[in-house]
A = this chain, B = another copy of it.
Amino acid sequence: MEKLYIGVDLGGTNIAAGIVDLNGNIYCKKSVRTNLPKPEAELEQDIYNLCKSLCEENGYDISNDIISVGIGSPGSVDGKRGIVWSNVNFGYENWRIKENLEKLFGISVYVENDANAAIIAEVMAGNAKGCDNALIVTLGTGVGGGAFLNGQIYAGYNYAGLEVGHIVIEKDGRLCNCGRKGCFERYASASALTRDTQAAMNAHPESLLWKLCPDIEKANAKIAFDAMEKGDKVATEVVNTYIEYLACGLVNLINIFQPEVVCLGGGVSNQQQALLDLLQPLIDKEDFARNARERTKIVIAKFRNDAGIIGAAMVGVNND
**Contact residues of A between 279 and 320, Cβ < 8 Å to B:** 285-286, 288-289, 292-296
Cα A293 to Cα B145 in complex, Å, equals: 21
Cα A258 to Cα B169 in complex, Å, equals: 18
Which residues of chain B come closer than 8 Å to A170, judged between CB atoms?
A: 170-171
Which residues of chain B come closer than 8 Å to A154, judged between CB atoms?
A: 149-150, 154, 257
Which one, B85, B150, B164, B173, contacts A256 given CB within 8 A? B164
CB–CB B156/A259 < 8 A:
yes
Q: With A167-B252, A248-B171 as given contacts, are A158 and B258 in contact (CB-CB < 8 Å)? A: yes
Which residues of chain B come closer than 8 Å to A179, judged between CB atoms?
A: 285-286
CB–CB B76/A255 < 8 A:
no
Cα A169 to Cα B251 in complex, Å, equals: 12
A255-285 contact mask (Cβ, 8 Å, vs B): 1 or 0: 1111110000000000000000000000001
**Does A162 sit at the interface, judged by CB under 8 A?**
yes
CB nearest neighbor in B for A145: B256
**Does A130 sit at the interface, judged by CB under 8 A?**
no
A225 to chain B, nearest CB (A): 22
A255 to chain B, nearest CB (A): 4
A123 to chain B, nearest CB (A): 13
**Does A152 sit at the interface, judged by CB under 8 A?**
yes
A192 to chain B, nearest CB (A): 14
Which one, B157, B166, B285, B296, contacts A288 given CB within 8 A? B166
**Does A203 sit at the interface, judged by CB under 8 A?**
no
Q: With A251-B168, A286-B180 as given contacts, are A162 and B292 in contact (CB-CB < 8 Å)? A: no
* A145, A180, A296: most-surrounded residue (chain B CB, <10 A): A180
CB nearest neighbor in B for A132: B157
Which residues of chain B come closer than 8 Å to A162, judged between CB atoms?
A: 256
A243 to chain B, nearest CB (A): 13
Q: List 13 A-B contacts (CB under 8 A).
A: A76-B292, A86-B293, A154-B257, A158-B289, A158-B292, A158-B293, A160-B292, A163-B256, A169-B169, A171-B173, A171-B245, A171-B248, A252-B252
